[in-house]
Amino acid sequence: MRIGIPLETAAGETRFAATPETVKKYVAQGHQVTVQFHAGVAASLTDAAYQAAGAAMGSAADAFGAPLVLKVRAPSLEERSLLPSGTVVVGMLNPFDADNIAAMAGCGLTAFALEAAPRITRAQSMDVLSSQANIAGYKAVLLAANTYQRFMPMLMTAAGTVKAVRMLVMGVGVAGLQAIATAKRLGAVIEASDVRPPVKEQVESLGAKFIDVPFITDEEREIAQGVGGYARAMPADWMRRQAELVHERARLSDIIITTALIPGRRAPVLIGEETVKAMKPGSVIVDMAVEQGGNCPLSELGKTVTKHGVHIIGQPDLATLLAADASALYARNVLDFLKLIIDKDANLALNRDDEIVAATLLCHGGEVLRKWQQQ
Ligand code: NAD
The answer to whether 2-116+323-365 and 133-316 have equal CATH topology is: yes
The neighbour count for residue 71, using CB atoms within 10 Å, is 25
| Residue 228 in this model has a pLDDT that exceeds 90 | no
Decide: 173 in ligand 1 pocket, CB within 6 A. yes
For 138-158, the pLDDT digits (tens) are 999 999 999 999 999 999 999
Instruction: Tell whether ligand 1 has an atom less than 6 A from the beta carbon of residue 178.
Output: no
CA 188 – CA 346 distance, rounded (Å):
50
Q: What is the mean pLDDT of residues 95-119?
A: 95
Confidence of residue 167 (pLDDT cuts 50, 70, 90): very high
Q: Is the pLDDT score of 375 beyond 70? A: no
How confident is the model over 317-337, as pLDDT tens digits?
A: 999 999 999 999 999 999 999
Question: Is the CB of 259 within 6 Å of ligand 1?
Answer: yes
Ligand 1 centroid from CA 331, angstroms: 23
H helical segments located in the chain: 20-28, 47-52, 60-64, 77-80, 98-106, 128-147, 174-185, 199-205, 218-224, 236-252, 273-278, 323-341, 355-360
| Closest residue CA from atom 8 of ligand 1 | 173
Measured CA distances, 13 to 49, 73, 374 (Å): 21, 8, 24
Instruction: Choose the CATH number for 133-316 among 1.20.1730.10, 3.40.50.720, 3.10.580.10, 2.40.100.10.
Output: 3.40.50.720
- Residue 196 CB–ligand 1 contact under 6 Å: yes
Active site positions, annotated: 119, 124, 127, 130, 230
| Contacts within 8 Å (CB) and 24+ apart, 120-127 | 120/355, 120/356, 122/356, 123/356, 125/332, 125/333, 125/336, 126/333, 126/334, 126/336, 126/337, 126/340, 126/356, 127/333
pLDDT score at 231: 83
* CATH architecture group of domain 2-116+323-365: 3-Layer(aba) Sandwich (3.40)
Question: Quick one: pLDDT at residue 1?
Answer: 94
What does the pLDDT read at residue 262? Answer: 86
User: Which mutation among 240, 259, 336, 360 tests ligand 1's pocket best, with the greatest number of atoms within 8 A of CB?
Assistant: 259
So what's the pLDDT on residue 371? 62
What pLDDT does residue 309 have?
98
Q: What is the ipTM of this complex?
A: 0.94
For the chain, the structural domain boundaries read 2-116+323-365, 133-316
DSSP category for residue 68:
E
Q: Which atom of ligand 1 is nearest to the CA of 199?
A: 9
Within its chain, how far is the Cα of 343 from the centroid? 29
- Report how far residue 314's alpha carbon sits from residue 287's, in angstroms, rounded to the nearest whole number: 6
Index of the ligand 1 atom closest to the CA of residue 267: 15
Predicted model pTM: 0.95
Closest-lying ligand 1 atom to the alpha carbon of residue 124? 41
Residue whose CA lies nearest to ligand 1 atom number 37: 119
Q: What pLDDT sits at residue 300? A: 98
- For ligand 1, is residue 170 a contact (CB within 6 Å)? yes
pLDDT tens by residue, 299-311:
999 999 999 999 9
Residue 226's pLDDT band (cuts 50, 70, 90): confident
